[in-house]
Structure formats: C-alpha cells, structure tokens
Chains A and B, each alone.
Chain A
Amino acid sequence: MDIWIQQLINALTIGGMYTLVAVGFTIFFGVLRLINFAHGEVFMFAAFVALAVSSICVAVGITNGPVVIILMFLFAMGTCAALGGLLERIAFKPLRGMPPLLLLVTSLAVGIVIREAVKEFYPEGANPQAFFSPYAYNTFQIGGVTLSYTQIGLVAVSVILVFCVYLLVTRTWMGRAMRATSEDRDAALMMGVDVDAVIRNAFFIGSALGAAAGVMNGLFYQSVRFDMGWVMGIKGFTAAVIGGLGNVYGAIFGGYALALFEVLVVALVPNGSQYKDVFVFMILIAILVFRPSGLLGTPQEKVG
C-alpha cells in the first residue's frame, strides 16, 4: 500500500510540472492556433535564469534558502514572460494570418536558437549544471512513504498556480477575452476585444507558467542542462493534446493524467521504464486518431 501512495506522490510531482507546461501549449493554441515548440526551450531558459540568480545570490552573500528560491521564481517567471512577449512580437506576430504550419516551423527554429544560445553563452553551457536546491534531502517518513519538503512545496506551488490560471480564465475580463478569442477570433474582434493584447497576455502568462515549471524542475532534480527543454516540450504538448488543445481544464487534466499513466506503466509493466515513452506516445497517437479534440474537448467542426 505504501508503495502505491509513494507512486501517487511521484505522479503528482511530475504531473504538476507537465500541467504548467501544458497550460502554456494550450493557451498559445487557443489564441493563435499555434503549436509552440519553443515553449520547452523557454522552460529550459527559466531554469538557467534561476541558476544564474542563485549563483549571483550566493556570490553577494544571500544564502537564506526561501529568499533565494523566491527570487529564483520571480526572476525566472519575469524574464520568461518578457521573453515570451518578445518572441510573440518578433517571431509570431509578423506571421499572423499565415498557415499554422509556418508558425509551427518558426517555433521550432526559435526553440533551436534559444537552446543553442544557452549552450554557447552560458559559462560551460554544454555541461550539466548543479542547481541550487537547499532542501532537496530534507525528507520525512509517514509509514513507509518518504516525502521531501521540496516535493510538497512543488505540488503546492503547481496547484496554486493552476488555480490562479483557473480564476484568471473564468473570473476576469482578460480571461473572458481570451476564451472569446479562442472560440472565434473575428467575432471577438468585432465585439471590441483587443486581440493583440489578448495574444500578448497569453504569451506572458503561458511563458511565466512554463518558467515556474522550469525552476521547479531544477529544484527537484538538482541539475539542469541546455537540452532538457525538448523532452519536457514533447511531454507538455502530449499532456495538452490528451486534454484537448485549446482547453485549459484539459491541459490540467492532461498533465496529471499523463504523469499518472507514466508512473503506472513503470510500476506495473516489467522493465516499464524502458517502454514508458512507447506507451505514452501510443496513447497520444490513439487520441489524435480517435479524439483529436482531446478527452475533455468537445468535437469541433472547424478549426482556425
């Protein structure tokens, strides 16, 4: 029994990160019909921003754990929100109205630029880097279940952030504008919604959430590397598709469902850790074939 609770907690931790990345994918798709593969690299970039912040903090003598961690989150999310806005302005805005395929290819290219830039310009960027994580080994036992404070903190932060997104989407004017744009951009425009601002905000929010996931990833796994964004990008995208691209609740559901599914495969299938991705992508293919609008999405007649 203990093992299953432990596995559930493992799933919740991974699921939190998947969800935060997936929400970004889904928001971009919602407002722009863009599958933004640069998003995984923004996630990686955030981890490096946080790493730089922690190095600077240590260098100037700030070693108080919580203070450094809060600074890491703030700077990483701020920088990446700005980066997201910048990418939208210089890479995606000029292509607005073009076929979605062009946007997709652009996003791949932008992703490569970010990844290689970190590799080349961060000191010893090609090497894995140790990440500042002061509480990584502060664990406690409940029965046979081992919990770390970092893990609890991460699950809490991801739930809070996801809840904030939920409030933002359902309760604010901005959220309503985003949903309207997502459903029908032209109609929203006619109703006086500033679509440009909506898209810009979507990039700020999505990138900041991805950034939070990046910092969490560093804190939990204690090391970061320039090529960590790709796998996370694919996983986040998969989570978003499982829940239905464009549907924020779907992304939340998809993130946790994907993590739980992965954990179950590893736990139940002999040598499952080797075939985990095979199972995951089989599910992805099945969903794309049979329910392209996702498990939570309502089937649509027209897209774009």
Chain B
Amino acid sequence: MKWITRLFVAFTVFVMSHAATVQAETYKLFVNLPLSGSWSNFGEGMYNAFKLAVDQGNASGVMGDVKLELVRGDNAGDSAQGASLATKAGTDPKVIGVFCCWTSGIGLATHAIYNRYGVPVILGGSNDHRTTRPFHKSEVIFRNSPYDLVNMKMAAHYAVSVAKFKRIFTIDDNSAFATTQVNEFTKVAKKEGGDGVIIGRESIVPGEKDFTSLLTKIKPLKPDLIFFGGRIVEASLVRQQMIKLGIDAPIMSSGGVFSETYIKITGDAAEGSLASFWGLPMDQYPEGRGIKFEKDYAAAKFNQSYESFGPMAYAAGQVFVQAVAAAKKKGKVTRAAVLKELESGTFKTLLGDFTFDDNGMLDILHIAIYRVEDGAWKIMYRTDRQAKELKKVVSK
C-alpha cells in the first residue's frame, strides 16, 4: 500500500504545481455569437477576427503575465440561447469581458443580464439603437460601431438628397433590427424630401422565398428605389424577383446585406444594389491598419473569410487587450477594473484611435455608401469622424 500512497502524494504535488503555473493569471473573454444557423458566416468571421486580436495581444506581452482565453459561445442567432449564454458568461468568475450578439434581438435580450453580473460587453453588430445606452440603463454595454440612428440618417440622406430618389418603397423583414431601420430611414427621408418621397411600406416573413405577388403589387406604383431592411437571403430573392418582374429600380439596404455572400448568391442581378454600412474598405482605415489586418488574417489561415463585421470584431479584441493591459498596470484585473478602463481609456485600433462616450458609443463613426459594380462592393461616399456629412470617395 505504501507505494500507492507515495504515488498519490507525488501525483498531487505534480498536479498542484502544474496548476499553479497554469493559473498564472488567465482570464476569459466570452464570445456570444451566431456560430451556426443562418448567420454563421458573419459569426464565424467575427469570431476569427476577434480571436486574431486576442492571440496577438497574448503573444505581444503587453498584458504582462496575464493571458486571455476565449470561450466560444454559439447563440445560433436565437435570443433564448443568447440569453442563456449571457448568464453562463456572467456566472463564470473567470470571465472579465464579453463580445456579443450580432443580432439586435439578442442585444436587447441580454443587456440586463450582463448588467446584473457587471460584466463589460462590447456589442459587435446589434445595430438597433435600443441595444445601447441611453435607450436602456445597462452600464456595462459598449459599441464598436455606430447604431441605426446614425446609419439610417446617412442612408436616407444619401438616397433623398444626394442620389435624389423621388419614389421610395420600403420593405422590412419584421425583425427588431429591420423595422427600426425602416422607421428611421422613413423619418429622415420624409424630413429631407417631403412626405411624398416614401410611397409605401410592407413587411415580409423571413424564410419565405416568393415575393413575386408583393412585387407585382408594388410595380404599378413605379418606385425608383426599393429600400430593404433585412438580411442577405431575402434581399437577394427580392432583388432577383424585381428584375424578373421588370421593376426598374435599384435596391438599397444596410449591414444585414452588405456582404460578399449577397453578391455571390444574387449573381448579375446584384449589380447596382446599394448599401450603407458602418465600415470602410480596408485601404481607407488610418495608417494602413486595415491592410495589416487583412495580411495578418490571411496569415492566420482561418477557414472562413472575416466577412463584413470582421474588422470591427478585431477592433473589439484590441480594445479588450488594451483595457486588460491598463487594468493590470494599475492593479488587479477584475470586471470592475476592465469596465473602468473602457469608460476612460483611449484605444488604438484598426478603426482609428477612439474613446467611448458616456453612453458607451465610440466617438469615431464611419458610415459609407456602397454600390455593387462588376461583382464587388465599391465605396462611393463616406462620412467624416462625427458622421455629419457625406463625402465622395474618389476611387484610385
């Protein structure tokens, strides 16, 4: 029996010493994104880009002997699953930050949960303004991109005052994200172009494939623009069926559609489609940071593209790394410490150098208007830092 006892003691000592080295300050960042289901192309791209930033942070040593570990949470685009993951993140004491949501619905369903546990969150996507302070009271929520109020203001401004569309028909897909978008778009468009500029509105049901009867009804109204609040698959079907029915107008949409996948599945019919999006082409970001991200991402050999939300996800990762590094310098890394850093720090990211305002909104607002030309999204206009005006981008 003696040798068993000895073995046991040796084993225990080994495990404890080993555990001690591993435990040398590892904290977790929880990722709560649609990694399966209809929107997994966006979710995977965001996860990879976020992971890249965190891996680079770990390797660089800026955080001292602190290491950040990712927890991969898949909400499948479903609010209930998103909420249960939020609770899981909140109850795990090792989690010091969350990168969440993509959909607006999940953003709305989870902010109060995060707030209860005091865990700092950066929203990736979740474009609905109600996911953000002051539209709710959850003080732990920050954004890495402007929300729909800003985005739709620029989209409607472009449509009515720059491109001078006169008869706009709006369609939404009945989701939180899309209905607010269309509401805001309509409000601004009417303000700038008079009530007559919006000639009608309908909602569709996501998952449905046939919109011919709806479009047949719209056709005699002779719209010169269809504004579509919604996501890739339905936008693509609407666009294709518009052309088949001979509706001679472009379709305009936003972040739910701005993606290579839209062009891929829509084919030639995608030509001329418009989108306003809260991100720039890689060569437009300051100091070549976008180009560097592109190279680093390619070098990391992920099996999926970073998609349209990847750059902002990368920036969110950079923010967390810098916040943790700053917290570590001042003392212990806790949720409260990270939260404090997010509130007060200046962050050097791919998107530019920015701080968060009192509502957790970043103070750098990139909105750009894109059009599909020759099978790719081409930037036409972009905003200044405060998103006050649109400037034409002269392509190189």
Contact = CB atoms under 8 A, between A and B. Distances in A.
Interface of A: 3, 6-7, 10-11, 13-14, 119, 126-130, 136-137, 139, 141, 146, 148, 217, 221-223, 225, 227-228, 230-231, 262-263, 266-267, 271-274, 276-277
A154 to B, nearest CB: 12
Contact of B208 (A137, A222, A231, A272): A231
B213 to A, nearest CB: 4
Interface string B263-287: 0111111000000000000000000
A230 B205 CA distance: 14
Given A221-B237, A274-B204, A137 B243 contact: yes
B71 interface: no
Interface string B192-215: 000000000111110111111110
Nearest to A14: B210
Interface of A is mostly: helix
A55 to B, nearest CB: 14
Contact of B213 (A130, A227, A263): A263
Interface in B201-239: 201-205, 207-214, 216-217, 219-220, 232-233, 236-237
Contacts of B40: 126-127
A217 B237 CA distance: 12
22 contacts: A3-B216, A3-B219, A6-B245, A7-B213, A7-B216, A13-B210, A13-B212, A14-B210, A126-B40, A126-B41, A127-B41, A129-B265, A130-B265, A136-B240, A221-B210, A266-B213, A267-B216, A267-B217, A271-B203, A273-B211, A274-B174, A277-B205
Given A10-B212, A13-B210, A276-B205, 7 more contacts: A128-B233, A128-B236, A141-B246, A221-B210, A222-B240, A231-B209, A276-B208
Interface of B: 36-38, 40-41, 174, 201-205, 207-214, 216-217, 219-220, 232-233, 236-237, 240, 243-246, 261, 264-269
Nearest to B268: A137
Contact of A274 (B202, B212, B233, B265): B202
Contacts of B261: 127-128
* Main secondary structure on B side of the interface with A: helix
A22 to B, nearest CB: 16
Given A139-B244, A146-B244, A223-B233, A217 B220 contact: no
A273 B37 CA distance: 24
Nearest to A232: B209
A221 B209 contact: yes
A271 B265 contact: no
A10 B267 contact: no
Contact of A3 (B217, B246, B269): B217
Contacts of A277: 205
Contact of A223 (B213, B220, B237, B246): B237
A283 to B, nearest CB: 16
B265 A148 contact: no
B210 to A, nearest CB: 5
B174, B210, B245, most chain A CB atoms within 10 A: B210
B202 A273 contact: yes
A130 B220 contact: no
A273 B203 contact: yes
B233 A137 contact: no
A110 B364 CA distance: 50
B217 A137 contact: no
B396 to A, nearest CB: 30
Contacts of B213: 7, 10-11, 262-263, 266-267, 273
Contacts of A130: 264-267
Nearest to B37: A126
Contacts of A139: 244, 246
Contacts of A272: 202, 214
The 3 A-B residue pairs with the shortest CB-CB distance in the complex, in nearest-first order: A274-B203, A266-B213, A10-B212
B200 to A, nearest CB: 9
A136 B266 CA distance: 11
Contacts of A128: 232-233, 236, 261, 265
Contacts of B267: 130, 222
B217 to A, nearest CB: 5
A277 B232 CA distance: 21
Given A10-B216, A221-B240, A273 B204 contact: yes
B43 to A, nearest CB: 9
